[in-house]
Amino acid sequence: MNKVIWITGASSGIGKALALKFAKAGWQVAASARRENLLNEISESNENISSFPLDVTNKDNCNETFEQIKNKYKNIDICFFSTGTWDPKKEKEIDVDQMKKVMEVNFFGTLNCIKAVENYFREKNSGHISIVSSIAGYRGLPNSTGYGASKAALNNLAESLYFDFGRYNVRVSLVSPGFIKTPMTDKNEFKMPFLKTTEFAADKIYKGLMHGSSFEIDFPKELTLILKFLKILPDWLYFNIIKKLTKYQKR
């Protein structure tokens, strides 16, 4: 098999698990993240994975990294952009600097990567760009002023790009995970319903990318179906339900 996938956020969490999943299936994996030492550990233990360190907040670095990947592999089939950051302690108040940082990584970092591959896929007239968002992007939630907003922005962006890249026969998909046990979710101070492993997430994503045709790959269904229902409720009912579920209190 001569298939190639570029995965960002590949040093840990969902990105790492998916890199290992595709490598095991015989794909060549270009793995990117800021933490070069962790990328090297993955690539040194798997001949199908190559390390391409990257800071997604640096637009020039994104362009340079993709050029390196093209030079090595010539043909790229899938780009899977899963970079993200989250600090629940700083989400309890409106921390403008923190919100800017979250948007810079989660939204603009992903956008930098998409821009880097835009002309390549348009000229190729085929391929697949997959964007990792979150169920937190469905509707506003308490203590999620930065993270939720960044994911909601990604949802809207992915829907727009679905049309824009579709003209060039390029598939765009959105990945909406529920609670997955990663170093990022380990920061959460609340009990996470339907918590799943990164291997579970990688399996669902792999099947969705390889065998599915839907725009959105969401999981676990026990949670996402509930939240999709909440999306269509009128505002007053949604707010009341969330207040009860989160034991919301006025101060």
Residues known to be catalytic = 147
Q: What residue ranges in the chain does DSSP mark as E strands?
A: 4-8, 28-32, 49-51, 78-81, 128-132, 171-177, 216-219
Cα 10 from Cα 178, distance rounded (Å): 18
Token couple for 89:
């302690």
> What letter represents residue 162's amino acid?
Y
Cα 245 from Cα 194, distance rounded (Å): 15
> What letter represents residue 69's amino acid?
I
Q: Please give the torsion angle defined by the CA atoms of residues 17, 18, 22 and 23, in that order, rounded to the nearest 10 degrees.
A: -40
- Which pairs count as long-range contacts for 211-214, CB under 8 Å and 24+ apart, including other chains? 214/173
Taking CA 132 as the corner, what is the angle to CA 189 and CA 202, rounded to the nearest 5 degrees?
85
Q: What totals of helices (H) and strands (E) does the chain contain, helices first? A: 9, 7
Tell me which residue has tokens 């020039």: 60
Token couple for 91:
């989400």
Residues near 101 by Cβ (< 8 Å), separated by ≥ 6?
85, 146
3-state SS class at 218:
strand
> What letter represents residue 177's amino acid?
P
Compute the half-sphere exposure of residue 24: CA atoms within 13 Å on the CB side of its CA: 10
